[in-house]
Structure 1
Amino acid sequence: MVTFTLNGEETSLDADPNMPLLWALREKAGLTGTKFGCGLAQCGACTVHLDGFPVRSCQTFVGDVEGARITTIEGLSGDLAATVQQVWADLDVPQCGYCQSGQIMAAVALLSETPSPSDDDIDGALEGNLCRCATYHRIRAAIHEASRRLEA
Structure 2
Amino acid sequence: MNNEKTVSVLNDLLNITNDRIEGFSKVEDKVWNTHSALKADYDQMVSQSQVMKNDLIKLINEKGGEADNTTSTAGAFHRAWIDVKNSFSSDKDETTLENVVFGEKAAIDAYQDVLDSTDLGPESSRVVSDHLHHLKSSYNKFENLEARS
Larger relative contact order (CA 8 Å, sep ≥ 6): 2
Q: Normalising by the residue count of structure 2, what TM-score does the alignment of the two structures yield?
A: 0.32
Q: Normalising by the residue count of structure 1, what TM-score does the alignment of the two structures yield?
A: 0.31
More strand by share: 1
